Structures are given as structure tokens and as C-alpha cells.
Structure 1
Amino acid sequence: MGKVPPVKEYRLTAHARFEIERRGIEEAEVATVLSTPEQAEVVRPGRVVYQSRFERGGAFADVPAAGLRGR
């Protein structure tokens, strides 16, 4: 479906804030994933999933982020 542009501006919903806290993800990591993702995939029109891995204590943790486009 073509290259997905990075996200420079975004808004975290209450659900997103709950999930990043529950998963122990830093908000700065979410910003990094959205601006420079390792992977980005259009999962349906208007919705993109961005993903990157971050090292934590010798292990890697996936940090997924979903974005809505065109709204």
C-alpha cells in the first residue's frame, strides 16, 4: 500500500495513556515509534500500525502504536 509517512503530531487518547502505563512504555518511546518506526503497516483505510523494538534490561520489548490518518 505504499510508504507510510512518519507522524510528527499526535494526540494520545485516555485508552492509549492507560495502555502505555500498563505496559511500562515511556511516552518518549511512543513518540520515537511514530516518528521513526521500524515497521509501519496500513491495516485498513485510515488506520496505520507503527512498531519498533526497544532494549530493556537485556531484552527487547515491542512498542506498538496505532494511528488514524485522514481524520
Structure 2
Amino acid sequence: MKELNLEYIRSRRNQLGLSQLKMAETLGFKNSSTYLKYERGIYSFKAEQLPILANILNCDISDFFIINIAKIEI
């Protein structure tokens, strides 16, 4: 199962010097506190927001995901 790597998103935003307000405006959120809730995982990014996010952060959508592999005991 894949899950979003929110730490990567936060880190990449900081590397590029982008504010939470700039992210909020680009994604069409009302304010930076709304964006912060997405970045902290309180809200989940929607599939249609991922290409916009990748464009802002100058990365591939695949960079956002962590693959969790469950271990099966035999």
C-alpha cells in the first residue's frame, strides 16, 4: 500500500523557500492554515491536487509516495 510522504512535501517546500500561504493560494485553499492541515495529514490531498503539488514543488508525483510493505510471518 502506498501512502503520502508528508515529510517529503514539507521538506521540499522548505528547500524551495515556498511559504504555506503560497502553497495555499496555488492549490486554491482559503488560507495557509488550511494548507497546514493537509501538510500535517489532518486532511488528505485529493488525487487532482497531486499534479499541481508536483508542479509547485518541481518533482514527480511518484516522489510523494512511500511504499509500505506488510511483513507476513510464515
* Greater Rg over alpha carbons, structure: 2
Do they fold alike, i.e. is TM over 0.5? Answer: no
Shorter-chain TM-score category?
Answer: 0.3 to 0.5
TM (norm. structure 1) is 0.35
Which of structures 1 and 2 has the larger relative contact order (alpha carbons within 8 angstroms, sep 6+)?
2
In the superposition, the TM-score normalised over structure 2's length comes to 0.34
Flag the structure with higher strand content. 1
Q: Which has the higher helix share?
A: 2
